[in-house]
A and B are shown apart, each in its own frame.
Chain A
Amino acid sequence: DAKTTQPPSMDCAEGRAANLPCNHSTISGNEYVYWYRQIHSQGPQYIIHGLKNNETNEMASLIITEDRKSSTLILPHATLRDTAVYYCIVRVESNFGNEKLTFGTGTRLTIIP
């Protein structure tokens, strides 16, 4: 699986959009981009994933560049409860059913009141 690079920390004002970048310059054509977050040492929580098209769900939007070498997770109206560590993960579907998620150290997002 391709490696990802994220900034170690970011701040965002409450109510504003939080934009979390991720670089994955060695991504292959069949690798998906996943985002998870971990709130205060709880188990990680799935946010969103995509292959090459932009995606949106009730939690966030995922913008993937045309060359797929980077992506941005957007939390449209950040709240204090969005303070967490955000992990960008690149994963290929395994023919053997190994749904391995390779977690890096992520971005610690702090929402400021």
Chain B
Amino acid sequence: NAGVTQTPKFRILKIGQSMTLQCTQDMNHNYMYWYRQDPGMGLKLIYYSVGAGITDKGEVPNGYNVSRSTTEDFPLRLELAAPSQTSVYFCASSYSRRAPEQFFGPGTRLTVL
């Protein structure tokens, strides 16, 4: 199993550009999450999904959108990039709400200039 994979690894955007961060898991997990981590800080939850077709906001959802059309994929969309969105983005998945372990991807480092 590849686990949780994320693409791209790095990206530089100009203010106002848009992009989609890709996240795929091959563990047949129902739950998927997007976090962001600013320098020297802990992770903050952006959006999460409890299954295909179901998504909900986390702690810091402004400026982002998500969709979950399949169990495997959970893309994160930035519509109008702003410097405040410069961060490292982590995708994670877990089997169920009672499964204690969240599996994290390697992250995408995004810089908005």
**In the complex, A41 Cα to B40 Cα: how many Å?**
10
**B104 touching A98, Cβ below 8 Å:** no
| Smallest CB gap from B41: residue in A | A105
**A103 touching B105, Cβ below 8 Å:** no
| Smallest CB gap from B100: residue in A | A49
| Smallest CB gap from A47: residue in B | B101
**B48 touching A93, Cβ below 8 Å:** no
| Smallest CB gap from B99: residue in A | A99
**B42 touching A43, Cβ below 8 Å:** no
**B43 touching A101, Cβ below 8 Å:** yes
Interface of B is mostly: strand
**A103 touching B94, Cβ below 8 Å:** no
Question: When A41-B107, A43-B4, A43-B90 are in contact, do A99 and B42 touch as well, CB less than 8 Å?
Answer: no
**B97 touching A93, Cβ below 8 Å:** yes
Question: When A94-B97, A100-B45 are in contact, do A43 and B50 touch as well, CB less than 8 Å?
Answer: no
Q: Is B66 an interface residue (CB 8 A)?
A: no
Q: Is A44 an interface residue (CB 8 A)?
A: yes
Interface size classification for chain A: 20 to 34
**B97 touching A42, Cβ below 8 Å:** no
Q: Is B74 an interface residue (CB 8 A)?
A: no
| Smallest CB gap from A85: residue in B | B42
| Smallest CB gap from B90: residue in A | A43
**A44 touching B43, Cβ below 8 Å:** yes
Question: When A41-B107, A42-B107 are in contact, do A99 and B4 touch as well, CB less than 8 Å?
Answer: no
Q: Is B61 an interface residue (CB 8 A)?
A: no
A1-45 contacts to B (CB < 8 Å): 32, 34, 41-45
**A105 touching B42, Cβ below 8 Å:** yes
Cβ distance A73 to chain B, nearest Cβ, rounded Å: 15
**A43 touching B100, Cβ below 8 Å:** no
B5-40 contacts to A (CB < 8 Å): 31, 33, 35, 37, 40
Q: Which 7 A-B pairs have the closest CB atoms?
A: A43-B104, A103-B42, A46-B101, A97-B97, A103-B43, A97-B50, A49-B100
